[in-house]
Amino acid sequence: MSVKGKVIIITGASSGIGAASAQLLAKNGAKVVLAARNESKLQKVMDSINQNGGQAIYQRTM
């Protein structure tokens, strides 16, 4: 199954498995929405994805 062009929401995306999953999915063409509590870490993950040609946005969650 291809993820290219799909929008995928990832919780816990600021570090660990969540961040790694977001990076991998974006590398394979998914548009990712990152969600977690730590906004500064979310920003870094988003910036990394976008700088490497992927598409990501984030939303801080509680």
Sequential pLDDT tens for the chain (62 residues): 799 999 999 999 999 999 999 999 999 999 999 999 999 999 999 999 999 999 999 999 98
- The residue segments making up the domain with residue 54 are 7-60
> What total number of domains does the chain contain?
1
Q: Rounded CA gap, 61 and 6, in Å?
A: 22
Q: Does this model's pTM top 0.85?
A: yes
Whether 1 is covered by a domain: the verdict is no
Look at residue 57 in the predicted model and tell me its pLDDT: 98
Residue 2 lies in a domain: no
pLDDT of residue 62: 87
Distance of CA 56 to the CA centre of its chain: 6
Domain-located, residue 18: yes
Q: What would the two tokens of residue 24 be?
A: 């991998």
